[in-house]
């Protein structure tokens, strides 16, 4: 049986999250000190070499993101770093685990990232319901300032940066990076049209790097131990580890940090204890509401960004929801579409009207017990139109679960 490989969560349960002394004793801030003794370009190159991909869901190269932001407007008076801690994807709670149990690791990762791109100001945009995370991050930032790890001339260098916490107000849409920037600027959380992208024109019109909590919290270990060490884990296209949050009809729901490349079967049966007594597996939803459904034929596929794509699935945020044989696939689909309908900001017509249409169609299946022969195709046609014409990823989200339902569960409709 494979074992957990905790590197992002290496301090979980081993230190007092509210003690900076504990974090320093565990080797904390050594990676930041090492980074600030190097050239920013060298940090970006090391991150690129590590092939660390964003852990927020999109899986974009972390090194490339830093490079684009670093090279944008070299004469700009200001650059920003924003940590996306607005963890609103249903079934996902990995970022909360990091922030509550090792807040200084996130701060250290942000210091390194800010130095790499030349950002003198950083923000943590966090969902307002994460009370304990907010409290512990606030204390950690204060203590880091007191120790001289934030503020002016960090580690005696010429680099200065600081971090500020900003609270979200519960909008799922603000987890999307451009909408989050609108909220950070004090505006209503409506999506922006892109291009321009944040790397060139982000917060207040300046180059901005946006990374997820798990991504930034992984940066220190990559800098400390090197890209070659990091790429020795996982697979060629998906190196390193991933924090999976698993829930549903399994015996041991929770979170597990595992090397990418393990199979869904290993995650469910070896780590999560298998299915509950008397319950057989029907489906697995990978990646949260904006993810994809798969059946038992995908259980032995390695969990990675590209390997899952070959099966019409996505890794997403790492949320895994396991559905037993007694669960209704159309019923689960309706819950997802109603969630999207509720969270739509209504700014663009394709999303506002399209979500209503999708809910109407799936409701006819669940209310009548059956739909017409081509109802899933009708829903998919609507979702594909939305994906091509909506302003932001929310309107582009339904096509993913619906395509996977067409591939694996068409008979249920």
pLDDT at residue 60, rounded to an integer = 55
Residues 102 and 129 in one domain: yes
**Euclidean distance between CA atoms 94 and 216, whole angstroms:** 13
Q: Is 346 helix (H, G, I), strand (E, B) or coil?
A: coil
In this prediction, residues 91-109 reach a mean pLDDT of 96
Q: How many domains does the chain have?
A: 3
pLDDT at residue 75, rounded to an integer = 63
Residues 318 and 397 in one domain: no
User: Is residue 103 a part of any domain in this protein?
Assistant: yes
Percent of the chain as helix, strand, coil, to the nearest 5? 45, 15, 40
pLDDT in tens, 371-408: 566 889 999 999 999 999 998 888 889 999 999 999 99
State which residues form the domain around 132. Answer: 20-230
pLDDT at residue 51, rounded to an integer = 81
Check whether 61 has a pLDDT greater than 60: no
Q: How confident is the model at residue 80 (pLDDT cuts 50, 70, 90)?
A: very high
Check whether 97 has a pLDDT greater than 80: yes
pLDDT at residue 408, rounded to an integer = 94
pLDDT in tens, 242-266: 999 999 999 999 999 999 999 999 9
Which has the minimum average pLDDT: 45-54, 176-185, 279-288?
Answer: 45-54
Taking alpha carbons only, the member of 42, 37, 111 closest to residue 81 is 111
Residues 92 and 214 in one domain: yes
In this prediction, residues 47-70 reach a mean pLDDT of 68
Residues 184 and 247 in one domain: no
Q: Which helix (H) or strand (E) holds 229?
A: helix 227-230
In this prediction, residues 228-238 reach a mean pLDDT of 89
Check whether 368 has a pLDDT greater than 70: no
pLDDT at residue 133, rounded to an integer = 97
pLDDT at residue 74, rounded to an integer = 63
pLDDT at residue 370, rounded to an integer = 57
User: Is residue 128 a part of any domain in this protein?
Assistant: yes
Residues 64 and 196 in one domain: yes
Taking alpha carbons only, the member of 378, 380, 396 closest to residue 388 is 396
Check whether 1 has a pLDDT greater than 80: no
C-alpha angle 291-11-53 in degrees, rounded to nearest 5: 35
Which has the minimum average pLDDT: 67-71, 179-183, 286-290, 398-402?
Answer: 67-71
Check whether 81 has a pLDDT greater than 90: yes
Helix, strand counts (H, E) of the chain: 17, 9
pLDDT at residue 55, rounded to an integer = 74
Q: Is 303 helix (H, G, I), strand (E, B) or coil?
A: coil
> Greater confidence, 72 or 393?
393
> What residue ranges in 110-215 does DSSP mark as E strands?
121-127, 162-168, 208-212
User: Is residue 15 a part of any domain in this protein?
Assistant: no
CATH of residue 284's domain is 3.10.20.600
Please provide the average confidence, as pLDDT, over all residues in the chain: 90
Most confident of 180-184, 236-240, 372-376: 180-184
pLDDT at residue 388, rounded to an integer = 93
Residues 26 and 126 in one domain: yes
Q: Are 76 and 69 in contact (CB under 8 A)?
A: no
Residue 186, Cβ neighbours under 10 Å: how many?
7
**Euclidean distance between CA atoms 225 and 310, whole angstroms:** 32
CATH of residue 346's domain is 1.20.1440.230
Which has the minimum average pLDDT: 8-22, 26-40, 42-56, 67-81?
Answer: 67-81
Residues 161 and 220 in one domain: yes
pLDDT at residue 155, rounded to an integer = 93
pLDDT at residue 237, rounded to an integer = 83
Residues 264 and 295 in one domain: yes
**Euclidean distance between CA atoms 348 and 251, whole angstroms:** 42
Residues 121 and 141 in one domain: yes
| 259 bridge partner residues | 241
Boundary-marking domain end, from 324, 354, 370: 324
pLDDT at residue 234, rounded to an integer = 87
User: Is residue 10 a part of any domain in this protein?
Assistant: no
Residues 93 and 209 in one domain: yes
User: Is residue 6 a part of any domain in this protein?
Assistant: no
Under 8 Å CB-to-CB from 222, ≥6 apart: which residues?
Answer: 46, 47, 50, 52, 230
Going by their DSSP bridges, the two strands 319-324 and 292-294 should be labelled as unpaired
Boundary-marking domain end, from 265, 296, 324: 324
Residue 193, Cβ neighbours under 10 Å: how many?
9
Question: What percentage of the chain has pLDDT greater than the value 90?
Answer: 70
User: Is residue 257 a part of any domain in this protein?
Assistant: yes
Residues 51 and 187 in one domain: yes
Which has the minimum average pLDDT: 43-57, 93-107, 157-171, 230-244?
Answer: 43-57
Boundary-marking domain end, from 324, 354, 375: 324
Taking alpha carbons only, the member of 77, 104, 141 closest to residue 17 is 104
């Amino acid at each position: 049986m494979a074992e957990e490989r905790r590197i992002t969560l290496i301090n979980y349960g081993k230190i007092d999250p509210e003690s900076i002394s504990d974090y320093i004793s565990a080797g904390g801030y050594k990676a930041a000190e090492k980074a600030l003794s190097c050239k920013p370009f060298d940090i970006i190159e090391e991150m690129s070499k590590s092939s660390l991909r964003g852990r927020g869901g999109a899986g974009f190269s972390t090194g490339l993101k830093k490079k684009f932001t670093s090279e944008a407007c070299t004469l700009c008076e200001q650059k920003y770093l924003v940590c996306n801690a607005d963890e609103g994807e249903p079934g996902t709670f990995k970022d909360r685990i990091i922030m509550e149990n090792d807040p200084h690791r996130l701060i250290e990762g942000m210091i390194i990232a800010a130095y790499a791109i030349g950002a003198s100001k950083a923000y943590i945009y966090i969902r307002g319901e994460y009370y304990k995370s907010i409290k512990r991050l606030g204390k950690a930032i204060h203590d880091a300032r007191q120790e001289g790890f934030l503020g002016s001339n960090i580690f005696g260098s010429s680099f200065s940066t600081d971090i500020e916490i900003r609270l979200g107000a519960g909008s799922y849409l603000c987890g999307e990076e451009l909408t989050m920037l609108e909220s950070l600027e004090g505006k209503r959380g409506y999506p922006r049209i892109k291009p321009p992208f944040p790397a060139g024109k982000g917060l207040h019109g300046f180059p901005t790097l946006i990374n997820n909590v798990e991504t930034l919290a992984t940066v220190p270990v990559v800098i400390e131990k090197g890209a070659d060490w990091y790429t020795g884990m996982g697979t060629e296209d998906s190196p390193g580890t991933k924090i999976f949050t698993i829930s549903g009809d399994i015996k041991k729901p929770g979170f597990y940090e595992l090397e990418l490349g393990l199979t869904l079967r290993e995650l469910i049966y070896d780590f999560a204890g298998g299915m509950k007594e008397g319950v057989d597996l029907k489906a697995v939803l990978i990646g949260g509401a904006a993810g994809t459904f798969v059946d038992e034929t995908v259980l032995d596929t390695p969990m990675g960004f590209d390997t899952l794509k070959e099966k019409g699935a996505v890794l997403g945020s790492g949320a895994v929801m396991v559905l037993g044989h007694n669960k209704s696939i159309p019923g689960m689909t309706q819950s997802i579409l109603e969630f999207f309908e509720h969270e739509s900001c209504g700014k663009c017509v394709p999303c506002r009207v399209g979500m209503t249409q999708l809910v109407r169609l799936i409701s006819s299946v669940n209310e009548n017990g059956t739909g017409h022969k081509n109802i899933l195709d009708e829903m998919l046609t609507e979702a594909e139109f939305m994906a091509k014409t909506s302003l932001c990823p929310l309107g582009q989200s339904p096509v993913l679960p619906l395509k996977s339902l067409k591939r694996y569960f068409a008979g249920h409709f």
